[in-house]
Each structure stands twice: as structure tokens, then as C-alpha cells.
Chains A and B, each alone.
Chain A
């Protein structure tokens, strides 16, 4: 196995990267099968490949009661669109790349390490994490910084539930989310578009806000790989890129983390990146948006709402100049 140096400079793999016996044995068997099939023809190879991965990730149903109070009644984006128009640069920069490439992501076994400024650091596997609190369905608007939006029924629970378990210390001012960065599973990792791993972050009060959802599913099933399986956050009042996908580590820190887009282009992507129709992106206006699936080429754009319509978060930023802290 290849082990990459992790960001702390320790030569240990993330727990989520350690391959348990049954998987690697299965993989060896699979490789042998592929080798045999390759002789027959590339089309068969393709088929074997797809089937093997299909066995890895069956679309598993996920029961959850709807939280009506935190859900919008707007028309939901189709599952097809929500799973085939994605920004997930670990799998390529085209919107169609994640749907095409993410089948190589192994979402089981998967562990998330919760560490940093906490009294009780934890390492949870995906099943423990899923069972930590009752799952809810929440239908949120999703506004991408690029000017399009969707309405997606997510499944998860408030991140605050997890945060309370680890008991942050007084020094915990920010929460940092780290996405898996494994070249073997993610063909886009290694491209020079971003620094890897992808890191996002929230201020502590933002992370504790009940709207901030630790998400394990959408449309009543476990997250498809291209949407950030097996676990991601969803922060509905911020531009989509703030909601880190395929999380392997949650770290509490005393200073603002260097986040992926903000680190690479600070004039274009602020740390806060709250949805704000009054602050333009340097290259386009943020005053309006295109709702995906709404009327095609000739559909008029919608007005973008402050905080993406989630006014209940306004108090988090009272007294702050949101043009400066965009």
C-alpha cells in the first residue's frame, strides 16, 4: 500500500485509509479477475470494473423524518440533475466528471477523526457517525458561487450534536473540515487547480448553528459518491464550496483555517462566503441565479436572497461589514 505524508507530517495513513483484510483480499481477487478478463477484451474489462464497483456501493435507503420547520417547500431538483452536475474537483473539473469518475471512491470502511481543541477527541467509523443522532430530512436551497442553484433533500443531523460530544475547549474558535485526498481513488487529486487535501472551515458559532447539517444522505438514500459520500457538511446560507465533502477529519482550532478556495484566490472567494446578492464575485454578479431544471435556456433568472433566504443566521454577523468579510 502507498501511504502519503499527511498534513501533520506524520507518516501514518488516516484511519480511513487503512484497508481492512476482507477488502484488500477482495481487491486482489478482483485484480486477478480483471487480468483474466483483460485478455478477452476491453469491453468486458469495463463491464467487470463497473460491476465490481457497483457491488461496493449499492444505493442504500436511509430512513429519516422530515424536519418541516427547516425545510423549504420549493420544487426539488431532480435526483438526476443533482447527481450529474457537480463540482467535486477531486474527480475532475467538469461538472459531469464527478458522476463519471466517482465510482472509484471507497466509502467503506470509512472513519472520521475529530480532534484538535477538544476534551474528548474521537475517531468514529461511518456507521457510528450515522447513528450518533436521529437522522432528519431537510430540504435546503443550495446556491453555488458560480450563479446556479438547486433544492436538495438532505439526510443528516445538526453538526452541533457531534460537536457537543467531543466537548470543545475554550480555545476552539474555528472548525476545519478535511476532505479525503487519495490519488488512487480520486483522479483529480494532483491537478494544480487546488491544493490538496481540500480544506474548508467555519467559525465555531456557524458550525454550532442548527442549520449546519452533518450529512450522510440525500433523496432518502445514502450519499452518492459524487455528492460527497459517505459524509459531508451542508451549510445552506453559504456558497456551495464551503460545504466540504467526503470528510476524513474534523479539527477544532484557535485560528481561522487556510481554506481551499480562499487560500488560492482570496480576492475571489472569502472565508465567510455567505450568499450575498450585494457582493459581486469579481467576474460575475451574485444578484441573481439560475435554478437548475427550471425552464431551460429561456427561463428568467431568480433573484438571489441574502443568506440564501436563511435569515435566521443574520444575528451571527451583526455588526460585521459583510462587504469586507465577504
Chain B
């Protein structure tokens, strides 16, 4: 291995020091929406604080979920393979915002009455799917350490494909929630984003399985 990056590579990777700086920056950036929510609540700015926190944490869980799912396509399009080093942090932030979203529901809507919460979860389909999406995030967050990645080996990757189920569930949750007010503008926007991000993966897989066949059928 030479010390200098080979000239054929389209983009240079950041040095370990630069990467650490990028990660720190991302850590702060992803925390800002939460800091803003807390700040405004403390200042008593939102007229309906519970609605404000519920919507804010839910929205950001979804935005960061899309960002997490965008890492692989971005890598492929740009050749910036180092982006993969940011994915775990983004994924954990998805869990963080989803957890805050869930805790707001459990606390503000049900005052920590698990029985009442459970009834709500079972009775209302939009809560049911949101709850399932949150529960499915738990094993992903729990297995995000290097040690777990090593220990699980190939099964780790299989387990983390759950995100392909979690994302549509999150969109369905949002969709059904907004259906109450017949207001689908945002669910359509983010549903499209998720559909494109997942669709790319389907397309890549499809073209990979097709490509070895094609030359043979041509010859």
C-alpha cells in the first residue's frame, strides 16, 4: 500500500482526524432539533406543548431514518465509501428520536399507565404500526456495538435488514395519522423518499442477479 491515495480514485477519503471532526459535527447537528424542542418547551413557546413534542420527535425520527437509508445510495453514486462510517450514528439517532416520540406518548398521553397505553396501541391501527416500528428498532439499537457486530457475524446484516420493514411501517403510521385530517401532503413527500431509497435497493439486487445471466443468454 502506498501512502498517497491512488490517482484513479474519484474522491479522497477524509483522514481519521477529519472523519472524527465530521462525526462530531454530525453528532451536534442531529441533536439540534431535539435541543430546539427542549428549549422552546422550557420557554413555554408552543401553545400545545404535547402536540409540539410529539410531532417534532416523530418528524425527526422519520427524517433521520431517510438520511440513514440514503447512505448506501450516496456511497454508490459518489464513491465516497467513508460515508458508511456515519451510518451507525444516524441510525442511533433514529432510535433516539423514536424513543422520545414513544416516551411522549407514554408520558403525556397516558401518564405512564402501561395498561391504558396498551389498549390504545391495540385499538388504533396507526398507533399499532407505529409501535411495531418502534419495537423493531430496539434490537437494531441493541446490536449496534462493534462487539455485537463481531459476535453476530452474517446474522447482524440480516437482522439489520429490518430497517426495510421499519421504514414503510413508519410511513404507514404517518399516513394513517394524517388521514384523520385528510392531509396527505407530507406523507406523500416522505413516502416517495422512502420508496425511492428502497426501490434503488430492489433495482440493484434485481440487476445484480440478472447480469450474470444476460451474457450467457446473449452468447
Check A296/B41 contact, CB under 8 A, given A281-B180, A285-B120, A290-B50.
yes
Q: Tell me, in angstroms, the Cα distance from A95 to B47 when the chains sit together.
A: 9
Q: Tell me, in angstroms, the Cα distance from A199 to B141 when the chains sit together.
A: 49
Instruction: Count A interface residues, CB 8 Å.
Output: 22
Residues of B contacting A: mostly: helix
Task: Tell whether, in the assembled complex, residue A268 and residue B53 are in contact, meaning their CB atoms are under 8 Å apart.
Answer: no
Q: Would you give 27 A-B contacts (Cβ < 8 Å), ordered by A?
A: A81-B47, A85-B47, A85-B48, A93-B183, A95-B47, A95-B48, A148-B48, A148-B51, A193-B182, A193-B183, A264-B182, A265-B179, A265-B180, A281-B180, A282-B124, A283-B124, A283-B176, A283-B177, A283-B180, A284-B124, A285-B120, A290-B48, A296-B41, A296-B44, A297-B49, A297-B53, A297-B108
B192: Cβ under 8 A from any A Cβ? no
Contact with B along A278-321 (1 / 0, CB 8 A): 00011111000010110011001000000000000000000000
Cβ contacts under 8 Å, A292 to chain B: 47-48
A84: Cβ under 8 A from any B Cβ? yes
Cβ contacts under 8 Å, A193 to chain B: 181-183
Closest to B48 in A: A148
The residues of A with any CB-CB pair to B shorter than 8 Å are: 81, 84-85, 93, 95, 148, 193-194, 264-265, 268, 281-285, 290, 292-293, 296-297, 300
B188 smallest CB distance to A (angstroms): 11
Count of inter-chain pairs, beta carbons less than 8 A: 44
Instruction: Count B interface residues, CB 8 Å.
Output: 20
Task: Tell whether, in the assembled complex, residue B126 and residue A283 are in contact, meaning their CB atoms are under 8 Å apart.
Answer: yes
B207: Cβ under 8 A from any A Cβ? no
Closest to A78 in B: B47
Closest to A82 in B: B47
